[in-house]
Structure 1
Amino acid sequence: MMDKLYLAAVTIFGIGWYIEQRMYVDGYTRRKRDPYKPIDYLGVFSIGEFVGYLVRCLVAPAFVWFPDILIGLPDNLIQVIAAVWLVVMSIFVPILVERTIDGF
């Protein structure tokens, strides 16, 4: 059951964050880039953005396994840990990865 839930979360997150990436690239850019610095691209992603996208899609949804991993903890605590995990792994870690790899 949890594997199906994880795969569903990966699919939903992947589609959502891909749409977000397309919106940023097509409409306006949130990234401060040096226009003279060449950047390797994978479609709409730079290399760093793609690695960040993989972290968002594959690591962030791991919170679905927390009830099985954190057996014995109160449900409220598990929910708090899952919420913090989701925020950190979908916002802060991917930004750090993107900036480290791409250099901006």
Structure 2
Amino acid sequence: MASSSSALMPSVFTADLPGRARCLVAHPVNPPHVVPIVELCPADYTDPKAMDFAEALFRQVGQVPARLTREIDGFILNRLQAVLLAESCGWLPKA
């Protein structure tokens, strides 16, 4: 099971599930039809085979998986996207 979340790490909502080793977050960049990158984020207990399956599935549908090795609060893509948005809107302080 892969859930799309922009803030919740997989361990937050899968910790008590019987099949938690098969769970991960598949976090797409928005808009996914323009930027076809999907971040695959495992919990500490996610089976590597579940990550392999998700990676293959997303490649089959034309996405480019970015495979994380551990949970990161806020995800990498959200952090990068926030900086790009702030820069484009002039929200960053001038050096």
> Shorter chain as normaliser: what TM range?
under 0.3
Greater share of helix residues, 1 or 2?
1
Q: Which has the higher contact order (CA 8 A, sep 6+)?
A: 1
Q: TM-score, normalised by structure 2?
A: 0.27
Greater share of strand residues, 1 or 2?
2
Q: TM-score, normalised by structure 1?
A: 0.25
